[in-house]
């Protein structure tokens, strides 16, 4: 990285931690399990081929106008469950992509100022490069306004010093006070410039962006296969197949 020491880069990497691979929440896992069970149940229903429109369930007889009505109900339930799962899994994927540039913290602690490279939102899932920048940006002050104040004080000092013979000792005191004010303003301006430079030149930005690019470039193919084939692809393919089995528009 340009203009970033190896030690500082390692410090940032330590704060950011290791990006976590996408994982479903408990709600998403339940949703996926229900979808798979519903798809398998639909497949079993088609394989059993009920010979009658009356089914006995725990001693209770259930009557249907036709088996087509059962298939229509199964079709729309499957369709809703599939859309629900697809939408939520897509949102989970987007959330994971945004989290790659964030710092990995499992919970909020009292040591929020442990590192100047990290960001510590109340919700750890909101940790990202964008969050860090939003928290750091207010530290950038209005440089133009500070310079204008300094120039105004300097001009006032010139006007007082140009008075005829200074007008006695009181004017000298005024000049001394103005000079002290200039010194304070200059120190304040210097601190603001230093804080601005620290933010703009922080190694957090290149380190996060480097990780973002490297993570996608070197992504583990085994993890991708496991997720897209088993955790995501299999439930979707199974439910689509079950939808075709009970579709009211199927071709005989």
Residue at 233 is within a domain: yes
CA 104 – CA 79 distance, rounded (Å): 37
Residue at 176 is within a domain: no
- pLDDT, tens only, 120-145: 555 555 556 666 666 666 666 566 66
Please report the pLDDT score of residue 108 as a whole number: 42
Residue at 116 is within a domain: no
Residue at 112 is within a domain: no
- Asked if residue 251 has pLDDT above 50, the reply is no
- Comparing 156 with 2, the larger pLDDT belongs to 156
- pLDDT, tens only, 44-58: 877 776 555 555 544
Please report the pLDDT score of residue 175 as a whole number: 64
Residue at 165 is within a domain: no
User: Which residue range forms the structural domain that includes residue 50?
Assistant: 23-100+220-252
Is the pTM value of this prediction over 0.95? no
- Asked if residue 111 has pLDDT above 80, the reply is no
Neighbours of 153 (CB within 10 A): 19
Non-local CB neighbours of 192 within 8 Å, separated by 6+ positions: 141, 143, 146
Tokens of 35: 């979808």
CA 225 – CA 227 distance, rounded (Å): 6
Q: How many domains does the chain have?
A: 1
């Amino acid at each position: 990285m340009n203009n970033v020491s190896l030690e500082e880069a390692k410090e940032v990497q330590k704060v950011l931690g290791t990006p976590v691979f996408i994982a479903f929440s408990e709600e998403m896992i339940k949703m996926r399990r229900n979808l798979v069970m519903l798809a398998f149940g639909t497949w079993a229903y088609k394989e059993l081929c009920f010979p009658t429109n009356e089914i006995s369930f725990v001693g209770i007889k259930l009557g249907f106008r036709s088996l087509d009505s059962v298939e229509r109900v199964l079709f729309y339930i499957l369709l809703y469950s599939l859309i629900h799962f697809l939408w939520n899994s897509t949102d989970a994927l987007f959330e994971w992509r945004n989290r790659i540039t964030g710092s990995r913290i499992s919970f909020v602690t009292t040591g929020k100022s442990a590192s100047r490279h990290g960001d510590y939102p109340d919700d750890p899932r909101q940790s990202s490069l964008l969050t860090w920048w939003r928290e750091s940006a207010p530290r950038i002050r209005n440089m133009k306004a500070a310079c204008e104040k300094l120039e105004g004080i300097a001009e006032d000092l010139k006007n007082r010093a140009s008075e005829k013979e200074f007008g006695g000792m009181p004017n000298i005191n005024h000049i001394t006070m103005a000079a002290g004010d200039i010194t304070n303003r200059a120190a304040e301006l210097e601190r603001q410039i230093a804080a601005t430079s620290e933010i703009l030149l922080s190694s957090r930005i290149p380190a996060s962006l480097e990780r973002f690019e490297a993570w996608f470039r070197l992504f583990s193919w085994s993890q991708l296969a496991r997720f897209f084939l088993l955790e995501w692809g299999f439930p979707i393919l199974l439910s689509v197949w079950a939808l075709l089995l009970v579709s009211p528009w199927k071709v005989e």
